[in-house]
Amino acid sequence: MLRAVLFDLDNTLVDRDGAFRQCVYAAFPDPTVRAELLQLDHGGRGDRAALFQSWERHAGTPINQSRFGALLAARIRPDPALLACLRRLALTLKLGVITNGSGETQRQKFQAAGLAEVIPARHVWVSGELGLAKPDPEIFLHACRALGETPAHCLHLGDHEQDDFEGAARAGLRACRVDQVLDAAGLAGLLPGLTP
């Protein structure tokens, strides 16, 4: 029996890549520079130091993780229909988020998306705060213990094959990979009985 649903954050509950692309397009008119930065970012998985170095070189202003997180968060907007769907889900299941990244950046995006209205901050586990990162099964097991649930009663939804699907499955959770940022209809399609 399913008792908890755990979500990845970036490109699962929030459009992190879309927010990054908007930041780049707003700050850099040159298509070559845009392409370079998007390539260095590599969907949030690239070399962050190289990305920041290139950004600073082209922008002429310094950037660090804190400023970068704020720029991304400023481009993220709540999805009212998704939030309503999550509220209905929270009536019968425990909800949480397991995400890789820095605590400050991930929590800024979480807040900007309005997710704090539905998912308690204590149910958000960030690799940068825990010293554990997906796909390490221990971060999933840590979340399950904190929720007071066994892994077999928890489902993890995320966009990355290795980090989200394989990591959760190795920890004993049910796992489902999503191929696009979730909206109300997408979430309802994954969880029968939940209407958007």
Name every residue whose Cβ is closer than 8 Å to that of residue 48 and which is 6 or more positions away in sequence: 65
Q: What digits encode the pLDDT tens for the residues 136-149?
A: 999 999 999 999 99
At residue 194, the pLDDT reads 59
At residue 96, the pLDDT reads 98
Q: What digits encode the pLDDT tens for the residues 16-65?
A: 999 999 999 999 999 999 999 999 999 999 999 999 999 999 999 999 99
Quick one: pLDDT band at residue 193, thresholds 50, 70, 90?
Answer: low
At residue 11, the pLDDT reads 97
Q: What digits encode the pLDDT tens for the residues 111-144?
A: 999 999 999 999 999 999 999 999 999 999 999 9
At residue 191, the pLDDT reads 85
Q: Contact at 8 Å (CB) between 159 and 179?
A: yes
Question: pTM higher than 0.85 for the full model?
Answer: yes
Q: How far apart are CA 14 and CA 82, in angstroms?
A: 11
Domain limits of the chain?
Answer: 4-15+78-190, 16-74
Adjacent-strand bridge partners of 154: 4
Q: Contact at 8 Å (CB) between 76 and 112?
A: yes
Which run of H or of E encompasses 4?
Answer: strand 4-7
Q: How far apart are CA 23 and CA 68, in angstroms?
A: 9
Q: Percent of the chain having pLDDT more than 90?
A: 95
Looking at 3.40.50.300, 2.60.40.10, 3.30.420.40, 3.40.50.1000, the CATH number of the domain 4-15+78-190 comes to 3.40.50.1000
